[in-house]
Structure 1
Amino acid sequence: MTDTDDSNAASTQAALAARMDAIEARMADTSSQLDQVQHLVELVLAETLARRLDNAAEADPAHIWSAAGFPVLPRNTPVQFRSDTREGEPDPEVYLASGWHKREPWGVWGSDAVHALRFALDRWQGGYVTVSLSLFCFLADGMERPHVDISANGYFLGSHRLDAKPRIIRLRLPPSCIGDGDILLQFQHEAPVSPVTHGIAVDPRVLGVGLVMLSAG
């Protein structure tokens, strides 16, 4: 074997070692993110039940709640997250579990990277359920469209690329993730951003997912 062959072999081994190091680093980062999401799930479930028990005597009679303290999501009745909820519409506030800014006339922004919704399925008796969401993201010129990972009760439902305009995303929830009908829906935004960093608006908030509507059929 020549010196050139030895040099090529060494370069190849070094490149492979660098790739393995990068893969291991990404795996460690992914594991850390999953641990954070799982911790969020546990915290939200515990807090939801505690608040429900504490406020049981003051519960709004217009809402139906599950035994675990999740607000029932009326079947085929879209929940609009705009701030001016109209008479007869479901109150969107009860479905916002954690990680959201204040609601606005169009809907609500997620805060930072991780947000969660909570709801109980209406009269669920088994089988798959379709959940629909109207979502979008903050997108400045030159920015790539970000992905958002969505899971229900820790069950990964897919990664979706968002745009600056709302689009309908339909999720198929299998019975294995539905359990007794109480759903904690989590969003993991890959690149939350503040508009002020792009000079577009004087808004220091870190924005994740833009949520307009939620429904289940």
Structure 2
Amino acid sequence: MKVILHIGTDKTGSTAIQSSLPGNRDWLLARSVYLPLTGLGIDNGHSELLSSLTQDALQALTTELAQAQACGYDLAFLSWEGMVRFNSRQIRLLASALGDHDVNILVYVRDQAEIIQSAHLQWVRMHAGARDIRSIAQPSGLLEYALAYAFLRDPRRNYYRTLRRWERVIPGAGFRVRPFSAANLLGGDVVTDLLQELGIADATGFLHGGKLTNPSLDVESALLVQAWKRDPAFQEQCDTLVDVTESMLAQNGPATRYFLDEKAVHNIRRHFRRCNRRLARRYMPGIAFPFPTENSCWRREDFAAIEARAQALARRVEEAHRVPTLIDSASGGNLPGRVLFTAGWSDPEPWGVWSVGTLSCIRFRLHRRLLNRCSENVQIALRGRYIADIASSHVTVNGRDLGSMDLSGPEAVIRLPIAELQPFAMVEICLAHELPPAPRTAIPMQDPRQLAFGLSSVWAGPLATDGSQ
């Protein structure tokens, strides 16, 4: 059986590929592509298997592949970006589990001058200890210059050396190297391109993973994220600040994509030119150089101008951050911190909040982690109880009239297309009630408020029928 190992590299669509795998396993099986269940995660490929390489896990993989072959499958596919860092011992362990199967290595590669910058912006997003961006872009002093010099010539970006390491351990392996660029990928999409590599020409019915997964920061937002992660004062709110920033990027697009100047970019390309030629000569038949078209991936202005824009962005983020972010649900006494009660509500109580008057509105943002679990729609549910003879609410969501809904039962849910979210993934829900009666049995008679609906919880998540769970 042919086994394709997708060795993911930074910022080459690995997340898009891996987030699409679990939900399409049956689709792939129907097209004779076997996706092993051993160590398969929700959105990180076969990380659980390949990050540990335990004897039990490898034996389980061997057994599963044998069973798949016995069932008539002649192609299996595994993916994880961590394989790019495998040493010879780790490769040998995996190779032993694959036995006599025909091993083929698939790797997408990207111009080092681009990936070094893009990957570092991603690293800043993920790790508080990431190297300071300014110290790379404009180093000062001998130590910073030396560290920046080494950083920009990271040997892990030597694709030729990586593949030679795999080839030495698995001499009979086949290799397929695909340059990662919109012009080179089939349909300009890495997932569509991968399906072609798996021998699937017709992608009808294939469900792509969440398009919001693993967003890239621009330089301005990365500068803010780096500052927040290093400041203890922002520790509790850093996650939502980053989420607001990413929503702004999704809404407005990036400002500055690169932090290096032109000289630094040329130096990187000169350093890796020889190994890139060797990569093409050995692993890319008929191609002289993997990156024949070099993008102008450098900044066009002084770094101080980028820092000034970062400060302006910080003010916009702070303004949007005043609206609470809903990660999944909120109830009872947690409602005020997760939902903004903009008009028509009483003071919060331990169980929730009563609506007051004829119109009551709430606002909140949806966290990107929640949206990543959704395909095209998000489901929102408000739960609570009505007072006296009130039995329903007239519901409006982001300006769209949904009519009358009974929010006291489990059947009432709001299906909101992601395309109808307000800027920065915001949701505004208004509840209208006709002539709320004076409080009766549930509330003391002396309470003069016009109460109608008692909101006790808010929940948001993917639709069960949306293909996103």
Q: Of 420, 423, 432, which residue of structure 2 is paired with 1:177? A: 420
* Equivalent pair of 1:147/1:190 in contact (CA under 8 Å): no
Q: In structure 1, what is the equivalent of residue 173 of structure 2?
A: none
Instruction: Compute the displacement of 1:91 (Å).
Output: 4.9
Instruction: Compute the displacement of 1:147 (Å).
Output: 2.7
Instruction: Compute the displacement of 1:205 (Å).
Output: 0.9
2:390 pairs with 1:137? no
Q: Of 175, 184, 189, which residue of structure 1 is paired with 2:433? A: 189
1:190 and 1:60 map into 2 onto residues whose CA distance is 44
Q: In structure 2, what is the equivalent of residue 54 of structure 1?
A: none
The residue type equivalent to 1:137 in the other structure is Y
2:405 pairs with 1:160? yes
2:346 pairs with 1:101? yes
Instruction: Compute the displacement of 1:150 (Å).
Output: 1.0
* Equivalent pair of 2:326/2:338 in contact (CA under 8 Å): no
Q: Deviations over 1:134-190 (max 9, x none)?
A: 122111xxx3x433111111112231136xxx4333110123421431111111112
| Larger fraction in helix | 2
Q: In structure 2, what is the equivalent of residue 74 of structure 1?
A: 327
What secondary structure is seen at the aligned counterpart in 2 of 1:194? coil
Q: Of 111, 118, 122, which residue of structure 1 is paired with 2:356? A: 111
User: What is the count of residue pairs matched by the alignment?
Assistant: 144
Deviates more, 1:183-192 or 1:194-203: 194-203
Specify whether residues 74 and 167 from structure 1 end up closer, same or farther in structure 2 by C-alpha distance, changes over 3 A only: same
The residue type equivalent to 1:81 in the other structure is G
Q: In structure 2, what is the equivalent of residue 127 of structure 1?
A: 376
* Equivalent pair of 1:102/1:108 in contact (CA under 8 Å): yes
Q: Which runs of 5+ in 1 are unaligned?
A: 1-58
Instruction: Compute the displacement of 1:97 (Å).
Output: 2.1
Q: Which runs of 5+ in 2 are unaligned?
A: 1-232, 245-316, 462-469
1:198 and 1:73 map into 2 onto residues whose CA distance is 30
The residue type equivalent to 1:117 in the other structure is I
Specify whether residues 115 and 178 from structure 1 end up closer, same or farther in structure 2 by C-alpha distance, changes over 3 A only: same
1:136 and 1:194 map into 2 onto residues whose CA distance is 16
Q: Deviations over 1:111-138 (max 9, x none)?
A: 1011111111111356210001112211
| Larger fraction in strand | 1
What secondary structure is seen at the aligned counterpart in 2 of 1:187? strand
What secondary structure is seen at the aligned counterpart in 2 of 1:201? coil
1:204 and 1:122 map into 2 onto residues whose CA distance is 38
Higher RCO structure, 1 or 2 (CA under 8 Å, sep 6+):
1
TM-score normalised over the length of structure 2: 0.28
Specify whether residues 161 and 167 from structure 1 end up closer, same or farther in structure 2 by C-alpha distance, changes over 3 A only: closer
Q: In structure 1, what is the equivalent of residue 445 of structure 2?
A: 201
